């Protein structure tokens, strides 16, 4: 398998996206260290990995606590020898569906501060450990607003853009040590917990929302969590050994252009 003998740390592994990436890495042969602030959801993911024949251990780590992250990184490096890959899939609360002119500064800044802090702490901790061994892959995760402006996303869009810039900057500094840093831009997975709960809670409202999101893509569908996991496996493998400092777009074409303005057979549909 492409990740045999590789060691990976996944932060927020109890969440739907973190769990999906952890299972994909383990399925490709990696030994995965699953971390989270609360152990119960992380253990469930670990049990699924072990049941499928994969390798997983569970550690309690607050990915907003710099000391806890660094201590855990040292512990993993000592016990496992190398840290070959790091991924932060931490979830976060976001105030959306409010115009920027009507939003409070605190609500706007919260996702920016939270997302950048946790990604900075885990990525730089991994970077310091990987510099000693001269290799490693650090993956970050953003979403569609990082590539194209969407209304009513609050501070989430600016947070995505800032994280993509941070990822590229970190790659430029760590490349000389043999470390690759790549961001994955997801299009919003309808099988993720946040979408599933919204659909179950208000199916009539969410049905046109999902349909509009699909229409905004070139492929007329949305990526699933499995798709993000598969991309994470590829980027972590030697097959992607020359890819760094970029964002890999897995939005089914949403951020590549306003494709939703074209209809069947290339006809042009006037909107508005």
Chain segment 58-113, per-residue pLDDT in tens: 999 999 999 999 999 999 999 999 999 999 999 777 888 889 999 999 999 999 99
Nearest Cα to 20, choosing from 247, 195, 252, 191?
Answer: 191
Dihedral sign for Cα 160, 153, 185, 87, please.
Answer: positive
Give the confidence band of 271 by pLDDT, cuts at 50, 70, 90.
very low
Answer yes or no: are the C-beta atoms of 192 and 16 closer than 8 Å: yes
Chain segment 189-241, per-residue pLDDT in tens: 888 878 888 888 888 888 888 888 888 888 999 999 999 999 999 999 999 99
Chain segment 139-167, per-residue pLDDT in tens: 999 999 999 888 888 999 999 999 999 99
Average pLDDT estimate for 6-10: 98
Phi and psi torsions of 167, nearest 5°: -60, -45
Fold of 7-188+225-246: Rossmann fold (3.40.50)
| pLDDT at position 77 | 96
Helix axes 105-133, 156-174, angle to 10 degrees: 20
| pLDDT at position 199 | 85
Nearest Cα to 11, choosing from 47, 51, 58?
Answer: 58
Residues in CB range of 233: below 8 A, 6 or more apart: 2, 3, 24, 25, 27, 28
Nearest Cα to 140, choosing from 254, 2, 10?
Answer: 10
Helix axes 225-236, 16-27, angle to 10 degrees: 50
Chain center to CA of 246 = 14
């Amino acid at each position: 398998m492409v990740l045999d003998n590789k060691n990976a740390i996944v932060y927020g592994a109890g969440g739907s996206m973190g769990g999906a990436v952890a299972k994909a890495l383990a399925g490709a042969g990696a030994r995965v260290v699953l971390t989270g602030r609360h152990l119960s959801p992380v253990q469930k993911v670990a049990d699924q990995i072990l049941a499928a024949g994969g390798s997983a251990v569970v550690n309690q780590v607050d990915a907003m606590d710099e000391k806890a992250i660094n201590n855990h990184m040292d512990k993993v490096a000592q016990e496992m020898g190398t840290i070959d890959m790091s991924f932060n899939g931490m979830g976060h609360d976001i105030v959306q569906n409010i115009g920027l002119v009507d939003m409070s500064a605190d609500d706007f800044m919260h996702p920016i501060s939270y997302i950048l802090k946790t990604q900075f702490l885990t990525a730089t901790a991994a970077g310091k450990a990987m510099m000693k061994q001269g290799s490693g892959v650090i993956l970050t995760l953003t979403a569609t607003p990082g590539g194209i402006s969407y209304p009513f996303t609050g501070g989430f869009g600016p947070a995505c853009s800032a994280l993509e810039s941070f990822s590229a900057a970190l790659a430029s500094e760590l490349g000389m040590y043999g470390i690759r840093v790549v961001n994955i831009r997801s299009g919003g997975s309808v099988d993720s917990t946040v979408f599933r709960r919204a659909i179950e809670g208000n199916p009539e409202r969410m049905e046109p929302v999902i349909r509009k999101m699909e229409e905004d893509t070139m492929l007329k569908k949305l990526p699933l969590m499995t798709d993000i996991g598969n991309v994470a496996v590829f980027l972590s493998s030697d097959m992607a050994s020359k890819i760094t400092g970029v964002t890999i777009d897995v939005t089914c074409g949403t951020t590549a252009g306003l494709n939703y303005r074209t209809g069947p057979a290339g006809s042009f549909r006037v909107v508005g």
